[in-house]
Amino acid sequence: MYEVMTEALIDVLDDLPQAGSQARRHHEVRAAAQALDSLADACAARSTDTASTEAQAGRAVADGFRAAAQLCRLAIQ
């Protein structure tokens, strides 16, 4: 799952304000949003036990990845 969290993805997130303002880099930001959505989906799929504290933590992590993906999309609007 975390193999999606590549150094290139981390670099785009680190440079998000500038990447979002540069049209030539919008494809990188879109790809980052898609990767983060994939991570969120993977975390959520592994976090289906409603009573488990570990599953609750997994859902919180999934929500964080979804929020980061949304920030990426907002940066290029």
DSSP 8-state secondary structure symbol assigned to residue 50: S
Q: What is the pLDDT of residues 2-53, one digit of tens each?
A: 677 889 899 999 999 999 999 999 999 999 999 999 999 998 898 888 778 8
- Residue boundaries of the structural domains of the chain: 2-75
In this prediction, residue 50 carries a pLDDT of 75
Task: Say what the pTM is.
Answer: 0.87
Taking a C-beta distance cutoff of 8 angstroms, is the pair 16, 71 a contact? Answer: yes
In this prediction, residue 1 carries a pLDDT of 63
Distances (CA, A) of 57 to 4, 23, 50: 19, 36, 11
